[in-house]
């Protein structure tokens, strides 16, 4: 069962990634652009989703486009939460304890790729 330290380990291994503490918890950026974060039960989040965020660790991540987010939600609604807010779209929120570790890594790398400058993506791809 993945934990926030697993998120931290994956994202901080990516070029240019850094962690910042925010009001809502840890958030990860690449060159100043947010790509993953611990979800906080803000009042603007619908009540059923807010209840999940209060009860367990939930992480949000940027995705390539709204269709990707919708596909993830439909693929596994036990892991991926309904839309939290329209702010910061496209994004996906998921139950950290319910996601497969390999899928977690894949989601975080893809979130980083959506926000990272092209030169960093090329650098990372050529090193891998």
Q: What is the pLDDT of residues 42-95, one digit of tens each?
A: 999 999 999 999 999 999 999 999 999 999 999 999 999 998 888 778 999 999
Domain boundaries defined on the chain? 4-119
Tell me: the pLDDT tens digits for 19-50? Answer: 999 988 999 999 999 999 999 999 999 999 99
Residue 127 binned pLDDT confidence (cut-offs 50, 70, 90) = confident
CATH of domain 4-119: 3.90.1150.30
Angle between helices 4-11 and 101-115 (to 10 degrees): 50
Which pTM does this prediction carry? 0.93
Burial code (b: 16+ CB inside 10 Å, e: under 16) for 4-40 equals eebbeebbeebbbbeeeeeeeebbbbbeeebbbbbbb
Contact status, residue 15 vs residue 125, Cβ threshold 8 Å = no
């Amino acid at each position: 069962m993945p934990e926030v330290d697993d998120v931290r380990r994956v994202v901080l291994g990516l070029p240019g990634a850094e962690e910042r503490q925010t009001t809502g918890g840890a958030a990860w950026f690449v060159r100043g652009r947010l790509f993953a974060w611990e979800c906080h039960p803000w009042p603007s989040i619908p009540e059923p989703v807010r209840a999940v965020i209060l009860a367990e660790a939930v992480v949000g991540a940027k995705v390539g486009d709204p269709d990707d987010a919708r596909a993830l939600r439909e693929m596994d609604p036990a892991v991926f939460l309904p839309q939290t807010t329209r702010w910061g779209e496209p994004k996906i929120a998921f139950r950290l304890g319910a996601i497969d570790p390999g899928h977690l890594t894949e989601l975080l790398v893809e979130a980083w790729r959506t926000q990272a400058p092209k030169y960093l993506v090329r650098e990372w791809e050529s090193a891998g």
